[in-house]
């Protein structure tokens, strides 16, 4: 009986920990990400930085790793934004990790309105 109880506790512990401590995010539209979610959690900043230099200096506007592409899927369906609330996609995690995001002092945090999207893609 003891063994059974112990194995049961071991099995539910990770789930329980994730539920309590991890930030609960509004992932917006979500869907298939450009990379594995776990890889993205760790490396999204490197990918964005690389893309940013290529876009600004060389005019390479590949949409795969662009900030606009992130926002397109992950802006909340409630307020079209990735920041501003405790469960916003970017801000939720960044608050939890106490890492300041500078991106949105200059960049728009909002999903483009559907009307504009067609012409700018």
Partner 1 sequence: MSDTDVRRRQFLKTSVGAAAVAIAPGMLLFDMAHGKTEAVSSKVRWGMLIDTANCADGCNDCVQACNKENGLSGGLSPTDSQWIRKVELNDMRSGRTLALPMMCQHCAEPPCVDVCPTAASFKRADGIVLVDKHLCIGCRYCMMACPYKARSFVHEPLHDQKPDVPRGKGTVESCTMCVHRVDKGQQPACAEACPNKSILFGNLNDPDSEISRKIRTVASTQIRADLGLNTGIRYQGI
* Site residues, partner 1 (CB under 8 A): 52-54, 56-64, 68, 71, 105-108, 110, 112, 120
| H helices present in the chain, as ranges | 2-21, 37-58, 67-74, 89-97, 103-106, 114-120
2 vs 102, beta carbon nearer partner 1: 102
CA–CA gap between residue 54 and residue 66 (Å, rounded): 10
29 vs 61, beta carbon nearer partner 1: 61
68 vs 94, beta carbon nearer partner 1: 68
24 vs 29, beta carbon nearer partner 1: 29
The SS3 of residue 81 is strand
Q: State in angstroms the smallest separation of the CB of 86 from partner 1.
A: 20
Distances (CA, A) of 43 to 50, 75, 98: 11, 19, 17
CA–CA gap between residue 84 and residue 95 (Å, rounded): 11
CA–CA gap between residue 39 and residue 110 (Å, rounded): 24
Q: State in angstroms the smallest separation of the CB of 74 from partner 1.
A: 14
Q: State in angstroms the smallest separation of the CB of 90 from partner 1.
A: 15
Q: State in angstroms the smallest separation of the CB of 79 from partner 1.
A: 13
């Amino acid at each position: 009986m003891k063994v059974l109880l112990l194995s049961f506790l071991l099995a539910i512990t990770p789930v329980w920990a994730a539920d309590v401590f991890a930030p609960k995010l509004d992932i917006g539209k979500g869907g298939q990400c450009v990379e594995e979610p776990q890889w993205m959690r760790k490396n999204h900043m490197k990918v964005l930085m690389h893309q940013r230099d290529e876009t600004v200096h060389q005019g390479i506007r590949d949409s795969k790793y662009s900030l606009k592409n992130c926002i397109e899927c992950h802006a909340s369906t409630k307020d079209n934004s990735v920041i501003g609330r405790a469960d916003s996609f970017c801000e939720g995690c960044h608050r939890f990790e106490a890492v300041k995001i500078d991106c949105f002092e200059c960049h728009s945090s909002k999903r483009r309105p559907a009307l504009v999207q067609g012409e700018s893609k």
